[in-house]
A and B are shown apart, each in its own frame.
Chain A
Amino acid sequence: MQGLLWTAAMLAVLPLVAIVTHIVGSGFAALSTSLFFKSPAPAGVSGGGMANGIAGTLLLVAMASVIGLPFGIGAGLFLAERAGTRLARITRFIADVLSGLPSIVLGIVAWELIVRPSGQFSAIAGGVALGALMLPLVARATEEMVRLVPNALRESALALGYSQWRTSLTVVLRTALPGVLTAVLVALARVAGETAPLLFTALGNAYWSLNPTEPIAALPLQIFSYAQSPYDDQRAQAWAGAFLLLVLIAGLSLIARLVVRARQRLLRAGPSRTDAS
């Protein structure tokens, strides 16, 4: 029986190994300076790049953060501080359900709210869709990190005369900050890789554009369209883009894990140790 289980585990890990090797192999080979600094060349002409997609993704994630971060961190604080209340339980449950829903639905909502009335595709619509996607991820991540801070710290601050909000923000959150930041970065990386919500909101753009009211290119959109392209150099660029995303996500995930483990060790050692950060 144990053998069967081990076989299952090996089979489970096998695709990962296959995918990562392929991405690293094909993607790394396709990296070039023009990938980072040039926008796509007209069809059939080689030498173009994904500069507009990289910039577009950065802008979209930044716009998404405007919605996702303030509300996400606020919700996370609420969930950590008022953990047993009914609202907290409902919100926690719904946040988990929400993060499991198909992301294309968020794109449809943004289309209905922004694209349809305004009559055009825009980066803002994409940013809104991604922001909604980010919200539950950031909330739960923040909650987990803030929870790591021992209650004793909060109580000491209150005993010293700090007001509630000051305790929460300048003492508790600040202590949890490294963990929160890395968890937030991981959520950002996940959002950066999303394609479906952008298909009919940000739409994509063959040119360089950072105008929020215009369609905008995005790395995952380019990967999607280049993957199905008949042009060999576009397909190579798709692999390079995939490589970039993989490095971003894997790198941040690894760092997040290490930071969390370090914070856990640090914070469990007692309140007197937290000044060390």
Chain B
Amino acid sequence: MPETPADRAYRGYTTLSAIAIPALVCVLAVLIARAALPALAADSGVSVIGRTWDVGRGQFGLLPALVGTLTTSFFALCIAAPLGLGAAVVAAELAPRPLRAPLAFLLDLLAAIPSVVYGLWALAVVVPLLRTRVMPALADAFPNAALVAGPQYGPSMLAAVLVLAIMILPYISAVAREVLLAVPRTQRDAALALGATRWEMIRDAVLPYARTGLIGGVMLGLGRALGETMAVTMVIGNRHTLPTSLFEPGYTLSSLLANEFGEASAEGHVSALMAAACLLLGVTLLVNGLAQWLVWRTQHGRIGDHRGAD
């Protein structure tokens, strides 16, 4: 049947809707970059390598927040990646079949819990635990280590790292599990036919095949950690200095935005915060883009191709 005007309208509607998504990202990037432009001026006080964030004096050094974002995410990844990958292997390969779906559901549920609820729990459980037991124990075990030196407040880089690790773990394991499940049967069957044990099959036939995707999954976790706001704000201590110890309070780019955006009135302050947002957006776009690319590549030939049941 030839195309009617109604058909054209429908096509227009769906096409427009689809365009809206890349358009949204462009609008995002352009708006924030434009609002951050004044920060590029030499006298704006904004500096990516500046260490001092003193609003009253017009100094906006972004380094502490940037370093905070990068280090908390990195350490969180170090904890979450092995655990997440291990959980994914168990959920995809090792667990008895009836257990697999419930296990996967549990892990997905972890991913769905809102960030503010994680923060609430961390504030009520993790921070006091750190302050009363973990920090003193660590300080006693490593008395001269700079990494565990300093007053034991509770809210600290360490608290942020732990909360982030718990939060990104399910993302890593969900993507890793999908990637593992996408490895074709032929790979597994071939290994088993050659006499491999269960673990040997996983190690030699499945994992190498899925490696790119697994790396992508880990990077997705990194992307989440970099952008995580609420839970981190509640436990990181909100201090604008380059921390030298895990026990010290610190700051991240997203916490900075969460705490100061609402009250910022001076033009210089607002454009400095926009510069921070720009930085955050740039880093997360890069990491997430790369991660998605890696994941797409494993699951299907071309980027953006549909992956799934068929």
Q: Which residues of A contact B (CB under 8 A)?
A: 1-2, 4-9, 11-13, 15-16, 18-20, 22-23, 26, 70-75, 77-79, 81-84, 87-98, 100-109, 111-113, 132, 135-136, 139, 143-144, 147-148, 158, 161-166, 168-169, 189-190, 193-196, 199-200, 203, 220, 223-224, 227-228, 235, 238-239, 242, 245-246, 249-250, 253-254, 257, 264
Contact = CB atoms under 8 A, between A and B. Distances in A.
Interface in B274-307: 274, 277, 280-281, 284-285, 288-289, 291-293, 296, 302-306
B306 A83 contact: yes
Interface in B46-103: 82-87, 89-91, 94-95, 103
A2 B20 contact: no
Looking at B6, B82, B90, B223, the one whose CB has the most chain A CB atoms below 10 A away is B90
Nearest to A113: B31
Given A5-B90, A22-B124, A165-B9, A91 B28 contact: no
B186 interface: no
A224 B233 CA distance: 10
Contacts of B94: 2, 5-6
B22 to A, nearest CB: 5
Interface of B: 1, 3-4, 6-7, 9-11, 13-22, 24-25, 27-28, 31-32, 35, 82-87, 89-91, 94-95, 103, 105-110, 112-121, 123-125, 166, 169-170, 173, 198-199, 203, 220, 223-224, 226-230, 234, 254, 257-258, 261-262, 274, 277, 280-281, 284-285, 288-289, 291-293, 296, 302-306, 308-310
A108 to B, nearest CB: 5
A196 B3 CA distance: 45
A23 B293 CA distance: 37
A12 B86 contact: yes
Contacts of A245: 114, 117
Contacts of B291: 100
Given A9-B87, A23-B121, A193-B114, 14 more contacts: A2-B199, A7-B86, A8-B82, A8-B85, A12-B169, A74-B13, A89-B304, A90-B22, A91-B18, A93-B303, A101-B281, A106-B28, A135-B24, A223-B116
A74 B21 CA distance: 11
B109 to A, nearest CB: 6
Nearest to A253: B112
A194 B258 contact: no
Contacts of B90: 5-6, 8-9
Contact of B18 (A78, A98, A112, A254): A78
Nearest to B273: A108
B18 A13 contact: no
Contacts of B296: 93
Given A101-B227, A196-B115, A196-B230, A163 B105 contact: no
A20 B103 CA distance: 15
Taking chain A's interface residues, is the majority helix, strand, or loop, or is none over half, making it mixed? helix
Given A113-B31, A195-B116, A8 B87 contact: yes
Contact of B83 (A1, A12, A195, A239): A12
A70 B82 CA distance: 40
A254 B120 CA distance: 24
B113 A19 contact: yes
B234 A228 contact: yes
B59 to A, nearest CB: 22
Contact of A95 (B7, B21, B223): B21
A163 B6 contact: yes
A103 B230 CA distance: 10
A16 B109 contact: yes
A12 B87 contact: yes
Looking at A18, A20, A91, A245, the one whose CB has the most chain B CB atoms below 10 A away is A91
B3 A92 contact: no
Contacts of A108: 32, 257, 261, 274, 277
A111 B261 contact: yes
A165 B230 contact: no
B124 to A, nearest CB: 7
B14 A90 contact: no
A164 B261 contact: no
Contacts of B119: 224, 227
Contact of A81 (B9, B14, B289): B14
8 contacts: A15-B169, A23-B117, A75-B21, A89-B305, A109-B31, A112-B32, A112-B35, A168-B10
Contacts of A223: 116-117, 120
Contact of B109 (A139, A235, A250): A250
A224 B123 CA distance: 11
A3 B257 CA distance: 43
A163 B7 contact: yes
Nearest to B295: A96
Contacts of A104: 227, 229, 254, 257-258, 277
Contacts of B257: 104, 108
Contact of B261 (A102, A169, A199, A249): A199
Contacts of B27: 109
A88 to B, nearest CB: 7
A11 B90 CA distance: 12
Nearest to B171: A100
Contacts of A13: 87, 103, 106-107, 110
B5 to A, nearest CB: 10
